[in-house]
Structure 1
Amino acid sequence: MLNKGIVFILFIGLLVSCSNTDWRDASREPAGIAVDPTKEKRAVIEVYAADAFSWRGWFAVHTWIAVKPQDAAEYTVYEVVGWRVKSGLPALRIYQTATPDRYWYGAKPQKLLSLQGDKAKQLIPEISEAVARYPWANEYTLFPGPNSNTFPQWVGLQVPELGLELPFRALGSGYAD
């Protein structure tokens, strides 16, 4: 039987070795899984999830939504980020980029949803309207929410035709229900 001190040391060692401890050095490179906006002229909607930063990634993911209107050269990315609130900014972040599939501070994203063409073209205005009505745009609470997973879940509830299903590890998504 292992003594509690040894178990604690093993746990701390695992924690340190399996997590990136400095967010400034963590990769934010594109993962290469997004539809290329310079090649795809049709409208595109994509939703991504990546392991949360550091040890939180063992238990939870961070999720975000990217939309590219027809003929647009860039995506609009919508996400909620907690550190922004601590800096006096809204938790809801909206920005333009050609690469919406960037690593989330060292964690490679996976695509949860990808819609292209007429259905995406029809749903993008509805998504934009839902984003504008998001009730917790200036709030962030790690658990139970509202957090980065509450946001896409809420948008998905407002736009059910999106068919968005977040993974079990999207902690805080139930806050929107």
Structure 2
Amino acid sequence: MKIVLRLLAVIIAVFILPTLVSAGLWVTKDRPTRWNEANWGSSGLLPEAEESEDAAIYVFSAMTGGLKGAIASHAWIVTKEKGGDYQRYDKVGWGSPIRRNHRAPDAFWYSNPPRLVVEIKGQQAERLIPKVEAAIKAYPYGQPGGYRIYPGPNSNTFVAHVLRDVPELGAVLPPDAVGRDYLPNGGFYALDEDGRDLHLSLGGFAGVSIGARSGLEVNFLGLVAGIDIARPALKVPGFGAVGF
């Protein structure tokens, strides 16, 4: 009985309380109440495509709308061939299975500014773009109906799949990317392509990730707590990565 009570206390302290604090802070913010009142335009974070000949790959994440925006974000991928235009890829719950260029590459999401998760430019981006496009094409939930907001597969499941398949991008999604730990085809485990990160998951509801990019993470009902070793930070539910 003591073990159960201690476990419950840890869950409350590590997962529940930070989430409640985050939700409380969120409701005090001035934010749009409807999607058609939100800002979906460019944030100006990226230069115009013609301003640079370099190839590039970007992964962005932004908090989403409504109350779920207190703890959950939306991620997308942007590529740019050498001398070409930006190509944005999102997995959403409406329209085409994987949306292409339905927003500006650096657009706000429900008025929330995009956060840069990773940026690759130049020759390395040229080399990796075909791998990124192959991973996008191979996403197992890319067909119509292949979307479920919780626990996945959702927009974050899609981007996390690409990051696992192309570990040279060197990134994982932020802790508030609910759905990133839902593994394709209902799998219990997934090993990144280079073998440096291991992910264990019970249908996206609970799990553990450990490795060079993930550090140590524990997922509980989509909320992630842990520690980032490569970029020293605590991963706190509702607040994301809090750097030292």
Interval of TM-score (by shorter of Structure 1 and Structure 2): 0.7 to 0.9
The list of structure 1 runs, each at least 4 consecutive aligned residues, that deviate by more than 3 angstroms after superposition, is: 14-19
Distance in 1, matches of 2:150 and 2:124, equals: 34
Contact 1:30 1:101 in 2 (8 A): yes
Contact 1:19 1:55 in 2 (8 A): no
Corresponding residue of 1:92: 98
Distance in 2, matches of 1:21 and 1:62, equals: 18
Distance in 2, matches of 1:22 and 1:142, equals: 18
Distance in 1, matches of 2:132 and 2:31, equals: 34
Q: CA deviation at 1:32?
A: 1.3
Corresponding residue of 2:137: 132
Helix, strand or coil at the partner of 1:143: coil
**Higher helix proportion:** 1
Corresponding residue of 2:87: 76
Distance 1:122 1:96, change over 3 A: farther
Aligned residues: 159
Contact 2:31 2:111 in 1 (8 A): no
Once the two structures are superposed, the pairs formed by residues 24-35 of structure 1 within 5 Å of their partners are: 24-35=36-47
Distance in 1, matches of 2:128 and 2:151, equals: 29
Helix, strand or coil at the partner of 2:32: coil
**Higher strand proportion:** 2
CA RMSD of aligned residues (A): 2.1
Contact 1:76 1:96 in 2 (8 A): no
Report percent identity of matched pairs: 33
Corresponding residue of 1:42: 54
Structure 2 runs not aligned, ≥5 long: 1-22, 184-189, 191-244
Tell me whether 30-39 or 118-127 shows the greater mean CA deviation. 30-39
Q: CA deviation at 1:31?
A: 0.9
TM-score with structure 1 setting the length = 0.82
TM-score with structure 2 setting the length = 0.61
Structure 1 runs not aligned, ≥5 long: 1-10
Kindly provide the amino acid, as one letter, of the partner of residue 133 in structure 2: S
Kindly provide the amino acid, as one letter, of the partner of residue 134 in structure 1: Y
